[in-house]
Structure 1
Amino acid sequence: MRTRAKTVGIALIAGFLPLAATMPGTALAEDGNWFTNMLKYGGTTVPPSQPADLGQVYCPTVDVAENGAALRSYGGRADDNASLRSQITLGRLARECVRLADGSVSVKVGVEGQVLLGPQGRPGRFEAPVYFTIKAGDQTIVARARKVSVSIGPGEAQGLFTVIEENLVVPRPLSESYEIGVSLHGAPGKAAAKRKRKPAPTSAAAPAEAAPEASQ
């Protein structure tokens, strides 16, 4: 099953504040902090408001595949906490969906995460592999992989990262029935049962996903 989002203890994660959509034909995650402002506006500040469009665009919440919320590295026997070197976990998730002129939908997904050192871990540079997928039933529409460098300095126990993936295009025929997925593994886990979703109106802020629990 897919994992509903929960907090993972990143100190900077705060609640989202609702704000009406500011782009025509767009369903947005809520804003009120730099992370969602970067996702929607490409900067840390909110531009002047524009008239809201009354149209609708389907923009489902971001799902995390089973076992896709955490990635661990061990220096000894796997699953032995005393041998843990590092653990990468997903944090806050957000998305933005924009209707294009040809009827297709362009999806933008933002991900926050962290790398934690374990008992056998040492400061240094780590790579967080983040996989983005958009599916319609069993059909994969888009699949992309990103590697994000994370540095943990001497005396530090964790490092934070943010990645935003843009222009994940859903063709018009599938624009009302797709799913957005994020995972730390290239082969996502068992898919959840299909859920019926209602289209998200552009005049209402679409809720952002909080951090999923680390499970592996």
Structure 2
Amino acid sequence: MTARCLRTLSLALALGVLAAPAQAQNAAPQDEGNPFLNIFKYGGTTKPPEAPPSPDDVYCPIIDVTEGGSSLQTLAGGTVRTQIRLGQLSRSCRPAQDGSTVVTIGVQGVVLLGPGGAPGRFNTPVTITVKNGTQVVARRSRQASATIPAGSASGTFTVVEEGISVPAGLARDFEIEVGLGGAPKPARAPRRKPAAPPPADG
């Protein structure tokens, strides 16, 4: 083999080696099972596992209190028996593998005795709503319980609601609301007035 042929063969081999990384980078996804191509793409013979979403990147809005839902009163003979108030509110959000967000909400509150009250056990409904505009994603009502012992004028309650799933399509745009009292009743559709009878023939 002549020296010229040897130089041509060496040049062809060098070009082939240099082209291999570029071909590996442009390979179709089905080539990810090729250990040789994976060396150039991932630095190893196998594709590394995908990193899970970071909790720091998850959208987690602050909690709003529903209108009129920050406090409740119970009456006894026209006198205030108890005054119930919301206290600290907290929430946490974590990403799920399917792109949805799982929300946990914590609610603390206090029950105060009024002039007509006496120590004992008191229940109050707490409603938690996750929504997107007028679309309700989840609404849960729980009975919170507080005990006011003898000789005391107040007691506290805590509600922790877990496992509220927000679909992936709404995971970047939803609201959280908390309020004392039950879930609001849906508005009634207005009644249709009966059609006026046709005029009598004259």
TM-score range relative to shorter protein: 0.5 to 0.7
Q: What is aligned with 1:62? A: 63
Shift of 1:24: 6.0
Is the CA contact 1:71–1:87 (under 8 Å) kept in the aligned structure 2? yes
Deviation for aligned residue 1:25: 2.9
Match of 2:20 in 1: none
Cα contact 2:71–2:180 (8 A) shared by 1: yes
Equivalent residue, structure 1, for 2:72: 71
Identify which of 104, 107, 124 aligns with 1:108: 104
Kindly indicate whether the alpha-carbon contact (under 8 Å) linking 1:87 and 1:118 is maintained by their aligned counterparts in 2. Answer: yes
Q: 1:87 aligns with which of 73, 77, 83?
A: 83
Task: Give the AA of the match of 1:142.
Answer: A
Q: Matched residue pairs, number?
A: 134
Equivalent residue letter for 1:71: L
Residue type of the alignment partner of 1:120: G
Of structures 1 and 2, the one with the larger relative CO (CA 8 A, separation 6+) is 1
Q: How far apart are 1:127 and its partner, in Å? A: 0.5
Provide the residue aligned with 1:37 in structure 2: none
Q: 2:130 aligns with which of 123, 130, 134?
A: 134
| Aligned equivalent of 1:25 | 54
Taking only the aligned residue pairs, the percentage that are identical comes to: 48
Contact 1:59 1:96 in 2 (8 A): yes
C-alpha deviation, 1:26, in angstroms: 2.4
Instruction: Report if aligned partners of 1:134, 1:143 keep a CA contact under 8 Å in 2.
Output: yes
Match of 1:120 in 2: 116
Matched residues in 2 for 1:92 and 1:188: separation? 22
AA of the residue aligned to 1:150:
A
Unaligned 5+ segments in structure 1 are 1-22, 28-55, 78-82, 190-216
Task: Kindly provide the CA deviation profile for residues 7-56 of structure 1, in whole angstroms up to 9, marking residues without a partner as x.
Answer: xxxxxxxxxxxxxxxx96325xxxxxxxxxxxxxxxxxxxxxxxxxxxx1
Aligned residues: CA RMSD: 1.8
Determine if the alignment matches structure 1 residue 158 to structure 2 residue 159.
no
Q: Does 1:146 align with 2:142?
A: yes
Contact 2:124 2:181 in 1 (8 A): no
Please give the alpha-carbon distance, in whole angstroms, between the structure 1 residues aligned to 2:165 and 2:71.
27
Taking structure 1 as the reference length, what is the TM-score of the superposition?
Answer: 0.59
Which structure 2 segments of 5+ residues have no match? Answer: 1-51, 186-202
* Aligned AA (1:59): C
Which protein is richer in helix relative to its size?
Answer: 2
Rg (Cα) greater in structure: 2
